Chain A
Amino acid sequence: MGKVIQISPITRIEGHAKIAIHLDDRGDVRDTFLHITSLRGFEKFVEGRPAEEIPRIVTRICGICPWMHHLAASKAVDAAFGVTPPPAGSLLREICQLLAHISDKILHFFFLAAPDFVLGPDADYSVRNVMGIVKAAPDLAARIVKMRQLGQMMLERFAGRAIHPVAGVVGGFSRPMLEQERQELLRDAGTLLDFSCYALDFAKDTVFAKYMDVFQEMGTITTGFLGTVDRTSGALRLYDGRQRLMKADGSCTNFEGDSYTDHIGEHVEAWSFGKMPYAKSWQEGFSLDPAAPAGIYRANTLARINVCDGISTPRAQAALEEFRMAFGRPAQQTILYHYARLIELIYVCERVMELLQRPEVTDTRIRAEAGPKAGRGVGIVEAPRGTLIHDYTTDRNGCITKANLIVGTTHNIAPMHMSVKQAATSLIRGGVYDQGILNRIEMAVRAYDP
């Protein structure tokens, strides 16, 4: 038995995971494992709870994207109770979802990932972090802190809470938007749009040009992609639409959310608490072998940018066209998750401004009355980390009897495991490695924003 290198925990990500790299006697990589070590059991302990309470319980699946769980659950409970929110109710939900995407993308790119790029992958661990950016680039740090906070405070001002929200309710939303609030949000969204355009330019200059090679050295995996698109135009959608599953060759299947179990299976390996969704409908089984993957697709920003036929807002569409010109469709390089993330940041800012200018946004009819009943509902939104699926069955008292959740990040567990294996195998030879090399392997995981 050779030795085992444990990267424990994986840092600057938003969950609990570690990497184990098993070396053989020559010091080459024999195998690697991405262990997801946390499991809380939401699917089970929501059983018996009144369904209308679920949107304010499942928020705690993720403190970084609680709005996504809040809204996917709200949509699922709407469907189970057979109620349709009034137009303003849906609009207010989508606006909140977009605002939450803004803070999330700034957090991930600038606070968590950027230290590798701004300070370099080989910088000492004690400074290779956002505190290091505060010291090395104080103006940039002040700006990113301010912009992330602005997105959070917009949510808090309007919806009471930025973290673990409660304003999305079965049947719609708990409070209307006032005209003054609308104007203030529109003004602030304009500030964020300017920042998002700056962010993409910044990344083009300092990241993609410089680090494409670093990622290239780690190897590429080839997979399919899952995202959500507009039912008629095929354009990128985050709050609603239909799902699109793309094979690595670019061919696509579209499906409606409530038939997701026909398309997606969930595989379990003995070494990870994270279930691994795979494309069951491809009927090729499941394999994590990077040379011959089976059933493997990816979700999150790069996937959405790959599966959509276009983006409905002008600046993001221009950025998408430039991206496709450079990298084709589907683009496979993992580093491009960051690029796609920043294109999406522009889109969400533009989209929130568009929605805030719709006349019905200040309508006071925001919630349809719902009654508890037996049913089943599937609610899907695109979370920052991927297609988020909540599926609930209720009894005649409107309490949960069964729940199935496919959380955004989990779509990427299998691909992340493969990327880690690729990176480790490429970078570690003959037992030679250092902190910089181990950090590069983590960078392959960080790009997925798990």
Chain B
Amino acid sequence: MAVRAVLEWLNSCSGCEIAILNIGEALIPLVSEHLDIVHAPILMDHKCLGQCGEGSEIEIPEADIGIVSGGVANTEHLEVLLAMREKCRLLIALGTCATHGGIPALMNGQGLGEGIKGVFATSGTDPCSVPDVGVPAALDRVYACDEKVRIDLFLPGCPPNPALIAEVLTAVAQGRDPVQPGKSVCDTCQVLREGKGAVSKVRRFLVNADYNAEEPVQRMRCLLEQGFMCMGPVTAAGCAAAGLPPSCIRVGVPCRGCFGPVRRDGNQMLDMMNALASNGIDFKSVVDRRSLLRFSGAHGLLRQIRTRPVRERG
């Protein structure tokens, strides 16, 4: 029997939903035999406020599994997420925004409210105040989904890997535990490593890596050993297509951590600083260290820098 599924997206870009579509031809039997999708705004017309638009509270149908992408940044996201939790037996956080805040949680570095004010005060924008009619109010910061509700399964990635999504959906339909990677990007990277090199500082990515595209990637020297900042050591594996190197490194571009930390509660910035220091590399050579948390700034990791010290009362 088909498994009832609902999909929702919160503070997201729809890349996760495109990753689902990128399962490709295997998606046809999945949606026609194994999954009965009863709510998914990007694909179908089930409405949250009734089909004739007269409801007053967000309504999500009962389902065996719920798949939610995006973090939580406003009151509407929170309402939808709570409704999902209430109605779904198994709730899956899909993509790094849902699991760790993702790129939009960079906003936590300057404060969500302040940032939004700034958006409406750019020089090209006609004078205005922040819209507040019929649009949801912002929360105090961008949250990962598990900061607000219990999440049963985490499937990070920006975007998540279509093959892993297919594995999770198939496993759930078959009632077994899905197989998920538990290693780091480095652990799964086939590039040539020669051990500790002569690198004392990391470089910005302003020239291409030294490699010959005609040769297999196994002949390319590790990008970190070439002196480029590469977050492979502190990033969860999973981006690579079957049998291939990690997706960025395959095209000669260093990793920036889009699958989030290797251990779910890890801190990619601190872990990377440690990784650099233990290899004798000066971590101060990293420009904009806080952006090492660019994919995982939720869970209170990326905070607003106070420009003035807070004076204690008394």
Contact = CB atoms under 8 A, between A and B. Distances in A.
A5 B44 CA distance: 19
Contacts of B207: 171, 367, 369
A163 B159 contact: yes
A14 interface: yes
A45 B109 contact: yes
A126 B16 CA distance: 23
Interface in B187-240: 204-209, 213-214
Interface residues of B, number: 87
Interface in A227-265: 261, 264-265
Task: Identify whether the interface residues of B are mostly helix, strand, loop, or mixed.
Answer: loop
B37 to A, nearest CB: 6
A8 B52 CA distance: 10
Contact of A128 (B45, B49, B159): B45
Interface in B1-21: 9, 11-19, 21
A315 interface: no
Interface in B270-289: 287-288
B126 A268 contact: yes
B153 interface: no
Contacts of B209: 174
B107 A162 contact: no
B87 interface: no
Contact of B17 (A41, A63, A134, A146): A63
Nearest to B48: A8
A261 B124 contact: yes
B231 to A, nearest CB: 12
Contacts of B123: 402, 404
Interface in A158-176: 159-164, 166-167, 169-171, 174-176
Contacts of A156: 241
B136 A6 contact: no
Contacts of B73: 40
Interface stretch (A269-277, A300-308, A350-358): A269-277
A371 B11 contact: no
Given A63-B14, A148-B21, A268 B128 contact: yes
B158 interface: yes
A418 interface: no
Interface string A56-70: 110011111010000
Nearest to B103: A60
B3 to A, nearest CB: 14
Interface string A91-113: 00000000000000001000110
A11 interface: yes
B170 interface: no
Nearest to B240: A160
23 contacts: A8-B53, A9-B41, A11-B42, A11-B43, A11-B44, A11-B46, A15-B14, A37-B136, A40-B104, A44-B110, A45-B107, A52-B205, A53-B288, A62-B13, A66-B13, A107-B18, A125-B51, A131-B32, A163-B18, A174-B252, A266-B125, A267-B128, A399-B287
Given A53-B288, A367-B207, 4 more contacts: A37-B136, A160-B251, A268-B131, A271-B135
Interface of A: 3, 5-9, 11-16, 18, 20-21, 33, 35-41, 43-50, 52-53, 56-57, 60-64, 66, 107, 111-112, 125-126, 128-131, 134-135, 141-142, 145-146, 148-149, 152-153, 156, 159-164, 166-167, 169-171, 174-176, 178, 261, 264-273, 275, 286, 364, 366-367, 369-372, 391, 397-399, 402, 404, 406, 433-435, 438-439, 442
